[in-house]
Amino acid sequence: MQELLARCNLESLWKVAAEHETSPQLARTLSASPFDAILRVEIAEQARLVRLQTAFYNLAVHAELKTIAGLMQEKAIPVVPLKGTHLAERLYDSLDARRVGDMDILVPEDRLENARAILRGMGYDTVETEHGRDHPFHGAPFVRAAGPAGRFVVELHWKLSDPRFLSVDYPRLWDRVAAYSEGPLCPLPSEETLVFLAVHLCKTASGVLASWPISIGSSAGKARPWTGTWL
């Protein structure tokens, strides 16, 4: 790796990393031993800047996520964070290794209207998009201005995936979630997290890395639905 790094065009490497949305991972790797000792000063500074920018944005999103979960906990609404900052922290033990986008959260379907009311009370408004209209497991995104962070976007899920492709025993899932975690944020257990990420990437594969490095059921660059029963 050191030999490859010494011979590669780092400017091109940053460009490819940006296309695949993996710049934070690249910056994290380049900032660690042994690469940090052989980098040119300007490349080391660029890596440091990418990590700082990623951490700054993710900290703001993570704080907002915890606020949302806290308000919902007061109304006895469990909140499962899907992907995002919670998973980044869980996998990398830091918030500078992957820049996140919107906040995807799962709530019980019978508490959906209460959850929507809490978001609206926080100043969120729905934004109608083609992607969000008549969606089988989440609605139109909720958006709120967020000062220096730009804006916060929440996708409120009542299911994990399209029920045509993935059958989930939700009462049992919520029992597992309750037994697995405590506090406002209730992450999926590890096994369910792995299946969710595999199904998600299979559904949205676009030819670039972009998301978590797990893939199933793709062929010739096109995703195929994974059909099965979960739990």
pLDDT tens for residues 77-104? 999 999 889 888 888 888 988 888 889 9
Report pLDDT for 215: 32
Listed ranges 4-13, 32-41, 47-56, 87-96; the one with the highest mean pLDDT = 47-56
Strand segments, DSSP code E, in 94-190 are 103-106, 125-126, 142-145, 151-157, 166-168
Measured CA to CA, the distance from residue 68 to residue 184 in angstroms comes to 9
What average pLDDT score do residues 202-215 get?
Answer: 46
Q: Is the pLDDT of residue 76 over 80?
A: yes
Q: Which domain holds residue 59?
A: 2-230
Pinpoint the alpha helices (H) of 75-147. Answer: 84-92, 112-121
The structural domain count of the chain equals 1
Full-model pTM:
0.77
Report pLDDT for 134: 59
Q: Is the pLDDT of residue 153 over 90?
A: yes
